[in-house]
């Protein structure tokens, strides 16, 4: 599971954006928040810090990897939505997520 998540994060981090709004985005994902919650955490370092919820899952076994990955990728999409990117840059990042949201 971890290599698949790392691949998605690497592809997002190295994606060429036409009009990036932040040099750094820090994202915390926690199952202590509701799945559709996304909070901005203020800071003084010109960094966008976001914290999103994650769907609580009782089954964390490899048999449930696809659901866990899909839940994690959904939270990354939520964070991207809150980054203030252009529509084209947002769609580019969403495409990266879609390409990686499948079994195999």
* 3-class SS string, 41-90: ECCCCCCEEEEEECCCCCCCCHHHHHHHHHHHHHHHHHHHHCCCCCHHHH
Q: What is the mean pLDDT of residues 11-17?
A: 92
What's this model's pTM, rounded to 2 decimal places?
0.81
Mean pLDDT, range 6-20, rounded to an integer: 91
Contact 40, 50 (CB under 8 A): yes
Query: What does the pLDDT read at residue 102?
Result: 59
pLDDT at 94 over 90: yes
Q: Which pair of structure tokens corresponds to residue 1? A: 């599971």
Residue 101 has pLDDT above 90, yes or no: no
pLDDT at 104: 46
- Please give the mean pLDDT across all residues of the chain: 87
């Amino acid at each position: 599971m971890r290599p698949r998540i790392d691949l998605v994060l690497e592809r997002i981090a190295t994606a060429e954006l036409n009009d990036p709004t932040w040099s750094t985005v820090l994202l915390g994902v926690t199952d202590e928040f509701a799945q559709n919650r996304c909070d901005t955490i203020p800071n003084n370092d010109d960094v966008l810090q976001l914290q999103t919820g994650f769907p609580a899952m009782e089954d964390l076994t490899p048999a449930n990897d696809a659901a866990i990955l899909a839940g994690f990728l959904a939270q990354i999409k939520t964070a991207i939505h809150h980054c203030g990117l252009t529509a084209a840059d947002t769609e580019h990042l969403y495409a990266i997520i879609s390409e990686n949201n499948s079994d195999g």
